[in-house]
Structure 1
Amino acid sequence: MSERSSVTLSDVAAVAGVSLSTASRALNGGGRISAATRARIAEVARRLDFRPNALAQSFALGRSRTIGILAYNARGAFTEPVLVGAVAHLGGREQACLLYDTGFDPDAMAESVRRLLARRVDGLLVLGDGFQSQLRSVTGDFTVPVVYAHGLTDRAADSCYVPDGEMAGRLAGEHLLSLGRRRIAHITAERHDAAAAGRERGLLTTLAEAGLPAAGDTLRGDWSRASGAAACRRLIESGTPFDAVFCGNDQIALGVESVLLEAGRRVPDDVALVGVDNWETVISGQGTRHLTTVDTGLAGLGAAAAAQVADGRDDPGPHAHPCELVVGATTGGGRPGD
């Protein structure tokens, strides 16, 4: 064992000239200790590279220093970045994580809740798989803070972190308008899908504020590339003039692009395209800049939800997490040679 790793709290107390109990209270943030004494003890701990024993701290504070994470689908393409963001934030705060993945199984969910209750976690973070299914609230089962990420529960008072769909629609609309596009069509999923509804609302509000209607009615299907392609064919066959398309997600946008190219329409010269999700970078890891898209900030969303759990804050209701526009070749940016 190295000399640095064997430094104890008693060593810190001796060098700082205080009692063991005073050193412990100062480093744990408790007790009536002057600011000067607390600062001196902290400085000594840093200089000696004191690393407190996590288990001993847990016993002293009466806390497990463990946050439970209950995922509906931890392996999901959109859940994974939320999970990574949450775990990275908690790790930075020296909080251990205990992950249970239910795989959408109600029995597994119930068993996971029982196990987490038995482990006496300091807080619980529940990870959904998007807006496709409503999360079951487990807040009433716990006496510690419970926060939900990437999904909404069946209980209005629950604290739920979700991507800001309206902001995504606004960012896309404002970008296309800034490029001089004035006939903007919209292709997305069904109206009952909360993500689709928010993104559509953001786009239409932005267009209305600019005194413009959308180019034709919103065309709907599902979130797939094939659905985007089919909707684009309907748009072309309708004869509606359009010079841009905001697509509900990147898969729809790629389907739209394939049909536009088949029809001899140049992207972005004739038609500019914007999607949502930043699939190329966040999900697939390709890191390319072909498709202009809106990144929904899933890692940051996970970190924000984890911060509330770790802080023990009571902040009820939905929290719309901000998005970011990523400009690529489909609106004229990020082309080779630029």
Structure 2
Amino acid sequence: MKSVTLKDVARVSGVSVPTVSRVLNGGGHVSEETRRRIHQAAEQLDFRPNALAQSFALGRSFTVGVLAQKASGNFSAPVITGIIDELSTRDIAVLVYDDEDDPHARPQNLRTLQARKVDGIIVVGDGTDTPFPSISSLFHTPVVHAFGVSDSPRDTCLLPDDRKAGRLVAEHLLAQGRERIAHVTAMPHSRAVQDRLAGFTARLDEEGRTLVLPPLFGDWTTPWGYRAGHELADRAGEFDAVFCANDYIAIGMARALERRGLRVPDDVALVGYDNWSKYSGSPDRFLTSVDPHLEVLGRSAALSLLGTTRDAGIVLQDCELVPGVSSGALSPEEWEWASVR
């Protein structure tokens, strides 16, 4: 099948080839009617511009580099998926360079990106606790960080709004009638830990409530949740709800509590963070959890990169509480129905 050319679009729209080229590349001083006619002709003919010729004409590569701390990481993967989905709709190719959590790999990846002359770079982290050295001075193209922070306050860094997440959990548990609430979390120096805790306790304070026990600090794993669950079970009756800083902790917590004879959610309501069930391929609605919408964060990072201006510093992205059985928001019957649909 013969490919459609600029000449074909020009013939159908009744203008010159240079005019078609300028308009389809986003320029051209023409009337809105002419612009509409050219785009209509291109759509009618299913015109696909030659990317190589277009890039030479505009001095652009139509590629964006993604520099990932760990591309296969739990957090990196959905962010990168969102970036690719957004840029692909704009015919922009994505080149992913993976540090594989090895800091020694980054210099080579940076040299490769410089050689490729990409139109922009999105640095994707696998967490927000350790700032990365800024790379903006190494490139003449824009740089945006997603789910990771730069050590430069001038860089744009998109992160989930963890303070809002904590507030959402507090509001939800209070609305469920829970008044004696505990918190099990990870390392105290973690940015995510501090932000989720700050939002959570601030919202409780607004309602005249406080945590009934000091927060339990550990790590992000299911075994830690299990150990903390046994520790809390020794004080059964002092608490009726637990906000767990992530879903892994919440899963371990649920196992320990039920092993000690405490029913979830009848005796103890649980809420986690991450909403990992949506990545499992099964619509499991057992665990109430906060969804940071990492794929949306990736899309937002792509749009920020393509924008003409970017906000310096931390740019917070919205999150959502997804109700489940573990907090009493869904009945077991609703959970079973959701799981088989």
| TM-score bracket for the superposition, by shorter chain length | over 0.9
Superposed CA deviations along residues 123-176 of structure 1, whole A, max 9, x for unmatched, are 001111112432221111011000011111111111011111111111111111
How far residue 30 of structure 1 moved from its aligned partner, in angstroms, is 0.6
Q: How many residue pairs end up in the alignment?
A: 334
Match of 1:156 among 153, 156, 160: 153
Match of 1:61 among 58, 62, 66: 58
Question: Which amino acid in the other structure matches residue 316 of structure 1?
Answer: A
How far residue 204 of structure 1 moved from its aligned partner, in angstroms, is 0.2
Give matches, 1:1-338, under 5 Å: 2-3=1-2, 6-238=3-235, 241-282=238-279, 284-338=280-334
Query: Which stretches of structure 1, 4 residues or longer, exceed 6 Å deviation after superposition?
Result: none
Q: Which moved more, 1:39-48 or 1:230-239?
A: 230-239
Question: Which amino acid in the other structure matches residue 313 of structure 2?
Answer: G
Alpha-carbon RMSD: 1.4
CA contact (8 A) 1:145 1:314 kept: no
How far residue 16 of structure 1 moved from its aligned partner, in angstroms, is 1.3
How far residue 336 of structure 1 moved from its aligned partner, in angstroms, is 4.4
How far residue 67 of structure 1 moved from its aligned partner, in angstroms, is 0.3
The equivalent of 2:339 in structure 1 is none
How far residue 240 of structure 1 moved from its aligned partner, in angstroms, is 6.5
* TM-score using structure 1 length: 0.95
Alpha-carbon distance in 2 for matches of 1:262, 1:105: 40
Question: Which amino acid in the other structure matches residue 253 of structure 2?
Answer: V
CA contact (8 A) 1:67 1:310 kept: no
CA contact (8 A) 1:79 1:128 kept: yes
How far residue 235 of structure 1 moved from its aligned partner, in angstroms, is 2.5
- Structure 2 unaligned spans of 5+: 335-341
How far residue 76 of structure 1 moved from its aligned partner, in angstroms, is 0.9
Question: Which amino acid in the other structure matches residue 101 of structure 1?
Answer: D
CA contact (8 A) 2:65 2:120 kept: yes
CA contact (8 A) 2:176 2:328 kept: no
- Structure 1 unaligned spans of 5+: none
